[in-house]
């Protein structure tokens, strides 16, 4: 489940249509995880 959330978050970040806060709420991942995803983009 968590892996899927990260994939969704990565796609949302690439689209750029949602704020980081919205992505965190929708995917329920941590801020740290989101920061790691951003580093890989």
Asked if residues 35 and 12 have their Cβ atoms less than 8 Å apart, the reply is no
Using DSSP, state whether 19 is helix, strand or coil: coil
Q: Which of 24, 23, 28 is nearest to 12 (CA)?
A: 23
Those residues with Cβ within 8 angstroms of residue 8's Cβ, 6 or more apart along the chain or in another chain: 26, 27
Residue 7 has what pLDDT?
95
Domain that holds residue 28: 2-40
Segment 1-41, tens digit of pLDDT: 789 999 999 999 999 999 999 999 999 999 999 999 999 88
- Give the global pTM: 0.77
Q: How many domains, the chain?
A: 1
Residue 41 has what pLDDT?
85
């Amino acid at each position: 489940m968590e892996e899927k959330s990260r994939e969704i978050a990565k796609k949302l970040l690439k689209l750029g249509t949602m704020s980081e806060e919205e992505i965190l709420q929708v995917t329920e991942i941590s801020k740290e995880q989101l920061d790691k995803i951003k580093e890989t983009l």
